[in-house]
A = this chain, B = another copy of it.
Amino acid sequence: MLPESNTLRRIVGMALREDIGTGDVTTLATVDPAAVGRARMVAKAYGVVAGLPVVEEVFRQVDPAVTVMLTVNDGARVGPGETLCDIEGPAQSILTGERVALNFLQRLSGVATRTARFVEQVAGTGARIVDTRKTTPGMRALEKYAVTVGGGRNHRIGLYDAVMIKDNHIVAAGGIAPAVERARRLVPHTMTITVECESLGQVDEALAAGADILLLDHMDNPTRAEAVRRAKGRALTEASGEITEETTAAIAATGVDILSIGALTHSAVALDISLDMIAIEARL
């Protein structure tokens, strides 16, 4: 889901301040304030578009007189030459907002595109591709939105909205059972508890302790399949640990419910998109 409007406004405002600072000197010096422009955002590669509402917010903040007309919506699969939106308004404002708008759109579309490729690998299985907390600092809400645009699903938002008991927590608490028990007693009853398991023994312990979700970390596929079998009807199973596009299908075939993949966000690369100015006129 797209972050609510206040959050979106704040992120975009921060990005504009970072880029524009005390002013776009080039545009202010060379472009007539009365000049009106028409521009077009065009894909230059194949991918899934994400971030068009962010583009709209960028131009709303730069200048409410700029109009953005979407040709496609977030989630569209596009290819080279395809128009994403048309932009019309004061030429100064279009030029000043261009780079920030593209920086958001290219990165988010990159995340969506990457996600979509993973999602294709699990088509037909019941498995879902979900993200992790390995997001770019400050961009988590938007990157998680882009994952859903690409057909993926979200994991917990941060450290505050779900319990995930990893190896170090287990050591610190003196075992899986006491860790789960303490969490159950202390956190809101609305929160689920995930336990990271590195062996079938831990799977059994976690199930006995009443974990809601088992994170099967760095297991081989036969072990994963056995873990899934044991957990069936008792807990969700989640595979993680350097999952690549190549290994995804085989992991999904083990029957796990969820594959959580850091690369959706930490290794996504920008989708190539350009803003082409079609016309600059004193008055359109």
Residue numbers of A with Cβ under 8 A of B are 1-7, 11-32, 35, 37, 61, 63, 91, 95-96, 99-100, 102-104, 106-107, 128, 130, 133-141, 148, 153-173, 179, 182-183, 185-192, 194, 213, 236, 238, 257-258, 262-263, 266-270, 277, 280
Contact = CB atoms under 8 A, between A and B. Distances in A.
A134 B17 contact: no
Contacts of A268: 269
Nearest to A154: B188
Most chain B beta carbons < 10 A, residue from A136, A159, A166? A159
A130 B189 contact: yes
Given A103-B136, A161-B191, 5 more contacts: A30-B165, A35-B172, A137-B138, A154-B187, A171-B280
Given A158-B20, A192-B191, A25 B1 contact: yes
Contacts of A192: 190-192
Contacts of A102: 134
B4 A23 contact: yes
A133 B254 CA distance: 41
A162 B134 contact: no
A68 to B, nearest CB: 17
Q: Which of A29, A156, A236, A266 has the most CB of B within 10 A?
A: A29
A267 B25 CA distance: 27
Contacts of A267: 269-270
B135 A103 contact: yes
Contacts of A103: 133-137, 266
A166 B94 CA distance: 13
B169 A27 contact: yes
6 contacts: A2-B23, A24-B159, A25-B159, A26-B169, A30-B169, A134-B270
